Amino acid sequence: MNVLHRLRRAFAAASPEGASPDAFAQAVRPSTDPKFGDYQANGCMAAAKATGRNPRELASAVADRVDLGPMAEAPEVAGPGFLNVRLRDDWISAEMSGLLADDRLGVEPTDDPQTIIIDYSSPNVAKPMHVGHIRSTVIGESVSRILSSLGHKVIRDNHLGDWGLQFGQILWGWKNHLDPEAYDREPVAELARLYRLSASKMKAAEELAPKLEKVRALERQGKPDEAASLFSKLFDDAGMSREQAEAAVAEARAVTEASRQETAKLHAGDPENRKLWEQFMPHCLEALEGIYHRLGVRFDVQLGESFYDAMLTEVVESLKQGGLAEASEGATVVFTESTKAPMIVQKRDGAFTYATSDLAKVKYCEDEFDADRLLYVVDSRQGDHFKQVFDVARRWGYADVDFDHVAFGTILGTDRKPFRTRSGDVVGLESLLDEAVAKAREVVEQNSGHLPEDERARVAEVVGIGAVKYADLSQNRLSDYVFDLDKMVAMIGNTATYLQYAYARTRSIFRKGETTPEAIRRARPTILITHPAERALGVALLRLPETLEAAAAELKPNVLADYLFGLANLFSGFFDACPVLKAESAERRDSRLALCDLTGRTLAFGLELLGIEVVDRM
Ligand code: ARG
């Protein structure tokens, strides 16, 4: 049982009369400042208020009563009624010896293992992956690793968008603008070009049509002069004549309509479109695979929207039979309390929706895996969609499944606007990773010139990719964050590079001392606490299990990242204050080497759960 749990259990047993033992226990937390001990029990004020007693008196009664065994002395009453707990040095040192022999660094499997399906990355596949996809991919991978480290059965699910309008767009492009030689040479690039071609035309429709409509409205009102001046105002930038604007909008509409029809034909089983789709898919998947491989991400199932297509008629039937779905203006909808607008499950033209396929997915996951919990790592902007899906799914018969939308914010450029290239395009993920590795390479050249060339290249890859992941994972996922490569690869500050460097230090000390971590582990030295920096490091090392538990409870990798950053700082303080190889005695040297080993393993283990690799020297 981890330290926090043990303390909570002890305080629950000693909770004041009239207070809820559970709430009292929950108010035990790690201290924010070592002045207040290692942990604090802050429940006395609330308990005193509820029972009309004096909080300090109540605290001192709890302090007398609580049995912390060998862990800590009786807590100290402070301020208005806080209880400060200071762990005993001999206890810390004994626990550390236990950790030294424990491959899992004290992390115990949960006593309530669940089957958890986590939907992440889930890109729309016909488009090249862009920077926006990094968040879901990286957060989802880390949450998966954290949950499985705690003993849950995690099924990683890439819910590919492989059935939507984007395929209609490519089909339209294929039929009208294909460059067959380019396709033979580089199919993925040609498909991406066709996609972008139709997307840019459709975008023109979206942007120009409403402007043109305003102009026409004035004309209809019989105000030709105003209409003309509005036109020149609105279309000046585009440098378009009236005829050109009309033509662009007409063309864009035609492309949109044609793409819709191609999509509808694909869904209806048109043999030509179906065959083309089957031909495109492997290329699209191959492009994704390259990125996933580079990011160290792998899925257990990769079921896209196309996979659920065959089930959708049945889903809608079942919703109708259950009295959930009803006809509304020609469409079939489900009204939900969670949002004002109803959820459309079948459109007037017979097409099913994104929501219908998400309901099919719930059913499939339950039939196939009997999951306890379904997680969806998807942009916050899809919040309403998931509210509706979860609400309908619960009423549809999945009330005992836990649903969570693991939402996240937007990536911003240094101008604090959504991150784009100079030309205004979204930034491609592949080139972004290359850029990160190139930046990391500069840092490696500056700091690690002594390493051989192939090792420098490898370090740059690990540092560059790690930097991008960590920049994302170290933020509270709900916040937006600024994408700034220079800061990401910096050696100092809360970066992966800093943590990777701290790890490398924990390893290089062994090489310098001509020994190995394995030898120290076998020797089982007593861990001595002779300096506050050793003690602080020891207390932090004991906190890995409770940190993972907190990160898992909140589905927030940044809880783990913060911990690792704090640990690396404490290690650096220890390293400055306590000579290791030149320690005063052999016992101290071995004890400190053991602390280096434990720190290194904890950093590597934690970074691995963030999906970040380490290198032994850099
Ligand atoms: N493909 C969707 C998109 O790019 C995300 C899918 C998320 N998962 C889900 N089950 N809806 O927006």
Which value does ipTM take for this structure?
Answer: 0.99
What spacing in Å lies between the alpha carbon of 184 and ligand 1's midpoint?
30
Contact between 603 and 615 under an 8 Å Cβ cutoff? The reply is no
- Stretch 464-490: mean pLDDT: 93
Q: 201-205, 394-398, 613-617 — which is least confidently predicted?
A: 201-205
Show me where the domains of the chain are located: 3-87, 165-268, 438-609
- To the nearest whole percent, how much of the chain has pLDDT over 70? 99
Over 70: is that where the pLDDT of 421 sits? no
Q: Is 358 in the pocket of ligand 1 (CB under 6 A)?
A: yes
- Cβ(357)–Cβ(309) under 8 Å? yes
CATH number corresponding to 438-609: 1.10.730.10
Q: Three-state SS for 418?
A: strand
Check if 306 has its Cβ closer than 6 Å to any atom of ligand 1.
Answer: no
Ligand 1 pocket check for 162: Cβ under 6 Å: no
The C-alpha atoms of residue 345 and residue 328 are separated, in whole angstroms, by 11
Residue nearest to atom 11 of ligand 1 (CA): 358
Mutation to probe ligand 1, out of 159, 363, 404 (largest number of atoms < 8 A from CB): 159
The letter for the amino acid at 141 is E
> What distances in angstroms separate CA 464 from CA 105, 412, 476, 487, 498, one per listed residue?
28, 19, 21, 12, 12
Give pTM, 2 decimals: 0.93
Average pLDDT rounded to a whole number, residues 563-573: 98
Q: How confident is the model at residue 423 (pLDDT cuts 50, 70, 90)?
A: low
Average pLDDT, the chain: 93
Judging by DSSP bridges, how do beta strands 115-119 and 153-157 pair with one another? parallel
| Per-residue pLDDT tens digits for 43-79 | 999 888 888 889 999 999 999 999 999 999 899 999 9
Check: CB of residue 603 under 8 Å from CB of residue 568.
yes
Q: Convert the pLDDT of each residue in 492-506 to its tens digit.
A: 899 999 999 999 999
Q: How far apart are CA 73 and CA 481, in angstroms?
A: 43
Identical fold for domains 3-87 and 438-609, yes or no, is: no
Query: Is 121 touching ligand 1 by the criterion CB < 6 Å?
Result: no
Residue 595: how many CA atoms within 13 Å on its side-chain side?
34
Q: Is 376 in the pocket of ligand 1 (CB under 6 A)?
A: yes
- CB within 8 A of 577, min separation 6: which ones? 531, 533
First to last CA, the chain: 36
> Contact 598/503 with Cβ under 8 angstroms?
no
Q: What does the pLDDT look like over 75-117, one tens digit per residue?
A: 999 999 999 999 999 999 999 999 999 999 999 999 999 999 9
Contacts of 254 (CB under 8 A, 6+ apart): none
CATH top-level class of 3-87: alpha beta
164 lines ligand 1 (CB under 6 A): no
Ligand 1 atom nearest 385 alpha carbon: 11
Q: How far is the CA of 160 from the centre of ligand 1 (A)?
A: 7
> How many angstroms separate the alpha carbon of residue 266 from the centre of ligand 1?
20
Mutate to test the pocket of ligand 1, among 122, 352, 404 (most ligand atoms within 8 A of CB): 122
